[in-house]
Amino acid sequence: MGVKAKKKMVSKNMKKVSADILASKKETRDFLPLEGRQARGDIMKVEDKENKATVLYIGRIPHGFYENEMEGFFKQFGSVKRLRIARNRKTGRSKHFGFIEFESPEVAKVVADCMHNYLMYEHLLQVSLVPPERVHPQLWKVGNHSYKPLDWVQIERKRQDKEKTFEQQQKSVARILKRDQKRRKRIEAAGIDYECPEIVVGIQSVPKKIRFESE
């Protein structure tokens, strides 16, 4: 066998070996992980997302542990950027869960590890990291201040004292007369001998309130 033939054979063998190596790498790359385990790339992605998370969800917040108390307590871990406790719009009472954001992702991770299932006033706090893509854009619309519930009594008083148009007065009077007729029918059906007084309604052209006069 000549020298040229030997060189050709060696090059063919080298190409074959390199092709086998590439195929084996491809098979190992496409190989699925065992059940119940995550691939190394997935684990790295999850860890990367957790490292960037600065927002914490806090559940089972006890009564009396509100914005000022929460900020003062969690400042011992690091700088608090903002926080919010979910509250009832009408009463202003706490819904016993909220969110807190730290300046540093490392601090948020430490707080999640240390404060989860922490016993506070007979409540086990539930603390967990919120990934950045799960943070709602309107989450911090209300926060960083003590919540003041709406004065619904004042709002209703203004609505009732508002000047009404002539058409609105007519509708209001029609509703009153309709309720009066129903009341009369119920009294007659009960067999009660009673004569209800007639309702005299006076409507002004530009009134502030409807006046009702009964005999």
Q: What is the pLDDT of residues 48-102, one digit of tens each?
A: 555 789 999 999 999 999 989 999 999 999 999 999 999 887 778 889 999 999 9
**pLDDT band at residue 116, thresholds of 50, 70 and 90?**
very high
pLDDT on residue 164: 84
pLDDT on residue 4: 58
Domains in the chain, please, with CATH?
A: 48-134 (3.30.70.330), 163-214 (no CATH)
Q: Is the CB of residue 28 less than 8 Å from the CB of residue 40?
A: no
Q: How many C-beta atoms lie closer than 10 Å to residue 167's C-beta?
A: 8
State mean pLDDT over 119-135.
Answer: 93
The separation between CA 205 and the C-alpha centre of its own chain, rounded to angstroms, equals 49
pLDDT on residue 29: 47
Give pTM, 2 decimals: 0.49
Q: Given a cut of 80, is residue 204 above it in pLDDT?
A: no
Q: Is the CB of residue 123 less than 8 Å from the CB of residue 114?
A: no
The separation between CA 92 and the C-alpha centre of its own chain, rounded to angstroms, equals 16
Contacts of 67 (CB under 8 A, 6+ apart): 83, 85, 144, 145, 146, 147
> Encoding tokens for residue 61?
């917040």
Residue 58 backbone phi and psi in degrees, to 5:
-125, 120
Q: Given a cut of 60, is residue 167 above it in pLDDT?
A: yes
Q: What average pLDDT is seen over the chain?
A: 78
Residue 126 backbone phi and psi in degrees, to 5:
-110, 105
pLDDT on residue 42: 56
Q: Given a cut of 50, is residue 131 above it in pLDDT?
A: yes
Q: Given a cut of 90, is residue 107 above it in pLDDT?
A: yes
Angle separating helix axes 105-115 and 40-52, nearest 10 degrees: 100
pLDDT on residue 51: 74
Least confident of 41-45, 70-74, 120-124, 131-135: 41-45
pLDDT on residue 18: 57
Q: Given a cut of 80, is residue 45 above it in pLDDT?
A: no
**More confident position, 118 or 90:** 118
pLDDT on residue 215: 45
Contacts of 143 (CB under 8 A, 6+ apart): 82, 83, 84
Q: Given a cut of 90, is residue 40 above it in pLDDT?
A: no
Distances, alpha carbon 69 to alpha carbons 102, 117, 120, 146, in Å: 16, 18, 12, 11
Partners of residue 87 on adjacent β-strands: 94
